[in-house]
Amino acid sequence: MLDLVLVSLVVLPAVVGSVLALAGPAADRTAGPAGVATTALVALAAVLVAFPARGARPAVGTPFMAGSDLALAVDGLAAPVLPTVAVVALLVLLAATGSPDLRTARFHGLMLLFVAAALMTVLAATIPTLLVSWEVMGATSFALIGYHWRDPVAMASGTTAFLTTRTADVGLYVAAGAALAGGAGLGLSSLPDATGGWRDVLAAGLLVAGLGKAAQLPFSFWLSRAMHGPSPVSALLHSAAMVAMGGYLLLRVSPTLAATGWADDAAAWTGAVTTVVLGLVALAQGDLKQLLAASTAAQLGYVVLAAGVGATAAGTTHLVAHAAVKAGLFLAAGLWLEALGTKRLSGLRGAARIWPVVGACATAGLVSLAGIPPFALWATKDAVLAGAWEHSPALYVTALAGAGLAAGYAGKALFVLTRRAPDGVESGWDEERPGSRRVPGWSQGALVPLAAGAVGLGVLALPPLAGRVRHLVGGAAPEPGAVELLVSALVAGTAIVATLAVSRRAEGARGVWPTALTDWLFLERLAHRLVVSPVCRLADLVARADDAVLDRAVGTCAHLTVRLARASARADDTVVDAGVRAVGSGARRLGRLAQRSQTGQLHQYYLQSLIVLGAAVVVLVLVR
C-alpha cells in the first residue's frame, strides 16, 4: 500500500502535469485548482511515506536498463527533504493563484512536471533513475524560466540555464559509465565500492553534476539568468528544488566523495568559497531577486560544504530551513513586483510597511537569512560550521566569513525594505511592469507557514531534536558547541549592525560596488568568451570544411570520373576506332595490291604459281 503511495508521488504530478501542459488554453480555468489539489495530495503522500505510522519506509523498483532498476526509495536522508519539496510546491502554487498571467494550464502543467521530477530526484536509488529526473528537471526549468516566451530575453535565459546545467550533467553520464566499469553497479548506495581509478572518475562526475545544479562556482551565473522567470518559479526552483537538488545529490553521495580522499575536500572548499564569493555578489546587488539568487548560491554553499565534510544531517537541516526561508522571500519579492511593478531595491524602499503580512513574513525570512538567533538558519548553519571546524579550521573561518556576509546582504535588504519610505519613492515603481497595487489574500496566506519555518525550523539542529535528525539521516558530524553558536551569532550581529550603519550612510550613493561583483564576476561573459564563442566559430569552420573539403572532394571525384569518361571516349575515337579503320583501309590496300596480279597474261600467271610453289616448299622445309 505504501509502495503504491510512493509511486503515486511521482506518477500523479507527472500525469496531471503532462495532461495540463498538452491540453493548452482549453484547460486554463481548471489548471489552478487542479495544480493545487494535486500538490496537496502529493504533500500528504510525501509525509505518509517519509514518516510511516508503522513499518519501514517504502522502496520500489522495476527493471529499467543496463541491468539496473528504475528504483525509488525513501531513506533517512530523503525523509525530511521529501515533505519539504512537496509542501513548498503546494504553498508556491497556492501563492501563484493570485497572479493573473500564471493562471494557465501550461504554467501549472510545467510546475507539476517539475515537482514530479524533483520528487523523483529525492527518491532516486540508481543512477539511471537519478539521470531521468535530473534532466527532466532541467528541461522543465528551461520552459518555466522562459514562461513568458514572447520575451526573447526570458527564452534566452531559459536556454542559458538549461545548457549550463546540462554541461554539468555530462558528469552524470560519465559517472554512469564509471560505475558500470568499476563493478559497483548503478545503485547509488553501492557506489563507494567501485574499484580503482573508476571511483575517482565516478566521484568527479557526480561532483561536477552536483555543483552545476547547485549553482556553485564556477556555474553560478545561470542562477542570475534564471531570475527572468516568474517569481513563483524562482520560489520553488531556487529554494527547495533544482538548486537544492544539486546540494542534495552531493549529500547523498557524500560517502563516495569521501572514499576518494580528494573529492570531499574539493566539494567542501568549493562550497566554502562560494559562500564568501557569492555572498559578496549578493551584497553588491541592487535588485532584490538578484540579491536573493546570489544568496541562494551562497547558502547552498553550506550544503555542499556539509556534503564535503560528511556532516550530512547538518547539511540536510540547512537545506530544509533554507528552502522555507528562500521560498518565502522569493514569493514576497514576486508579490511586490506584481503590486509595485519593480524589484529594484531603490523602488522597494519601505515596501515591507505597505502590506503588513508580506512585510512581517519577509522580515522573518531576512532575519533568519542573516543568521540572527534564534532564527532557523542561525542554528542550521552552525551545525554545518561545526562539521567544518572538525575538518579544518581554515574551512571554518572561510565559511564563517560567508556567514558574516550573509548577515550583511540580508541586513541590507532588511534595511531598505523596512525603513520608512522616503518621499517620492513612488517614482521608482512600475519601472518593470505596471503594478496592480494589491496583494491577493491567498498569496499572503501562503507566506505565513513559510515564515513560521524560517523562524522555527532551527529546532532541527538544536538539542534535543538534532540527535534524532542525525540518527535519521546518518553521517557523523558533531553538534555545534555553545561557543560556536555564540561566535556565529556575534559575527552575524556585528555584520548586520555594520551593514545598517553603512547602508544608512551610503544610501543614494551609486557605483560603490565594483562591476565585477554586481555583474556576478563576469562569469557568464567568461563562459561566452571561453566556451560558447569558440564552439560557434569551430562549428562554422567545420561546416565550411564539410562543404569545401569533403563535399568538394566527392564532387571532384565525380568530375574526374566524367573527365576520365570523356578521355576514354576520345581515346575510343582516336585510338581504338582509328585502329579499326586502319585495319580496314589496310585490307583494302592489300586487296588492291592483289588485284594488280590479275594481268590476263598467261606467262605471268605461270611465274606467279612458280613463286607460290617455291614459297610453299620453303615453308614446308622450315616447318618440318
Partner 1 sequence: MLSLLVFLPLAAAAVLLLPSIGERLARGAFVAVTGIEVVLASLAWGRYDAPASGELALEQRVRWIPGVGSSYHVGVDGLSLPLVVLTTVVFLACAVFAVRESHRPRLQAALFLFLECVCLGLFVSADLILFFVFFDLSIVAMYFSIVGWGHGDAARSALKFFLYTFLGSLALLLGFVGLYVASDPHTFDMVELAAHPPLQGQGLAGGLVLSALLLGLAVKTPTFPFHTWLPPAHSDAPAIGSAVLAGVMLKMGTYGFVRIAMPMLPDAWRAWAPVVIVIGIVSVLWGALVAFAQTDLKRMIAYTSVNHMGYVVLAVGAAGVLADGADEARRVAVTGAVTQMVSHGLLTAALFLLAGSMFERTGDYALDAYGGLASSAPRYATLFTVAAFGSLGLPALSGFIAEFQIFAGSIATVPLTAVAVLGILITAALFLRTLQRVFTGPTTGLSEGFADVAPREWASVGLLLALSVFIGVLPRPLLDLIEPAAAAVAHLVGR
* Residue in 28, 37, 57, 173 binding partner 1, rule: CB under 8 A: 173
Using omega within 30 degrees of 0 as the cis cutoff, is the peptide bond preceding 58 cis? no
CB 282 within 8 A of CB 204: no
Write down the least CB distance from residue 170 to partner 1, Å. Answer: 5
Shortest spacing between CB 100 and partner 1, in angstroms: 19
Range 63-92, binding partner 1 (CB under 8 A): 63-67
From residue 396 to residue 435, what is the string marking binding to partner 1 with x (rule CB under 8 A)? ----------------------------------------
Q: Which is nearer to partner 1, 162 or 375 (CB)?
A: 162
**Interface size with partner 1, residues (CB under 8 A):** 53
Q: Can residue 577 be called a binding residue for partner 1 (CB under 8 A)?
A: no
365: closest CA among 337, 405, 332, 391? 332
Q: Which three cell numbers stand for residue 144?
A: 518555466
At position 219, the amino acid (one-letter code) is F
Say if residues 227 and 282 touch (Cβ distance below 8 Å): no
**Based on CB atoms, which residue is closest to partner 1, 175 or 407?**
175
Asked if 538 touches partner 1 (CB under 8 A), the answer is yes
- Cβ proximity to partner 1, 29 vs 552, nearer residue: 552
Of residues 206 and 485, the one with the C-beta less far from partner 1: 206
* Cβ–Cβ < 8 Å for 89, 38: no
d(CA 372, CA 488): 9
Binding of residue 128 to partner 1 (CB under 8 A): yes
Query: Is residue 530 part of the contact set for partner 1 (CB under 8 A)?
Result: no
Using rule CB under 8 A, residue 554 touches partner 1: yes
Pick 394 or 538: Cβ nearer partner 1? 538
Residue 572 makes contact with partner 1 by CB under 8 A = no
Q: How far is the CB of 155 from partner 1 (least distance, A)?
A: 4
SS3 of residue 29 by DSSP: helix
Smallest distance, partner 1 to C-beta of residue 358, A: 32
Residue 474 CB burial class (10 angstroms; 0-12, 13-18, ≥19) = middle
Residues in the chain: 624
**In which residue are the cell numbers 570523356 written?**
566
Residue number, 14 or 48, with CB nearest to partner 1: 14
Tell me which residues in 152-171 interact with partner 1 (CB under 8 A).
152, 155-156, 159, 162-163, 166-167, 170
Residue number with CB closer to partner 1 (186 or 372): 186
User: Is there binding between residue 201 and partner 1 (CB under 8 A)?
Assistant: yes
Residue whose grid cell is 561557543: 483
x/- mask, partner 1, residues 19-38, rule CB under 8 A, reads ---x-x--------------
Binding pattern for the stretch 135-154 against partner 1, x by CB under 8 A and - elsewhere: xx--x--x---x--xxxx--
Please give the grid coordinates belonging to residue 399. 565559511
* Residue 543: φ, ψ to 5°: -65, -40
Decide if residue 174 touches partner 1 (CB under 8 A): yes
Report d(CA 210, CA 188) in Å as an integer: 14
The total of other beta-carbon atoms located within 10 Å of residue 54's CB is 5
In angstroms, rounded to a whole number, what is the distance separating the alpha carbons of residues 521 and 440? 37
Torsion angle of C-alpha atoms 8, 129, 168, 330, degrees rounded to 10:
10
Shortest gap between Cβ of 179 and partner 1 (angstroms)?
8
Tell me the closest approach of the beta carbon of residue 191 to partner 1, in angstroms: 14
What is the three-state SS of 60-83?
EEEEEECCEEEEEECCCCHHHHHH
Q: Residue 577: is it exposed, middle or buried by C-beta count within 10 angstroms (0-12/13-18/19+)?
A: exposed
Are 376 and 453 within 8 A, CB to CB?
A: yes
Could you list the residues that contact partner 1 (CB under 8 A)?
A: 22, 24, 62-67, 128, 131-133, 135-136, 139, 142, 146, 149-152, 155-156, 159, 162-163, 166-167, 170, 173-174, 176-181, 183, 186, 201, 535-536, 538-540, 542-543, 546, 550-551, 553-554, 558
